[in-house]
């Protein structure tokens, strides 16, 4: 089992989200079991706290 954690900067815009999705898909295609942990997009958590 592979655990992949992506922080806010890693999912900060649509291009970066696509990059994360491609990485996950690559491991999935090899038959690996994957757990993906994704933080909120950069700056979103601060906005929610306010």
- Measured CA to CA, the distance from residue 2 to residue 8 in angstroms comes to 20
pLDDT tens string 1-50? 999 999 888 898 999 999 999 999 999 999 999 999 998 887 787 788 87
d(CA 40, CA 19): 16
Instruction: Check residue 41 and give its pLDDT.
Output: 81
Instruction: Report yes or no: 45 and 15 within 8 Å, Cβ to Cβ.
Output: no
Does residue 1 contact residue 35 with C-beta atoms inside 8 Å? Answer: yes
SS3 42: coil
Q: What integer pLDDT is reported at residue 40 of this predicted model?
A: 84
Assessment of whether the complete model's pTM goes beyond 0.85: no
**Per-residue confidence (pLDDT) for residue 28, from 0 to 100:** 97
């Amino acid at each position: 089992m592979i655990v992949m954690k992506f922080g806010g900067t890693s999912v900060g815009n649509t291009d970066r989200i696509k990059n994360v999705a491609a990485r996950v898909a690559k491991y999935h295609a090899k038959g690996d079991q994957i757990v993906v942990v994704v933080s909120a997009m950069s700056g979103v958590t601060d906005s929610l706290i306010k």
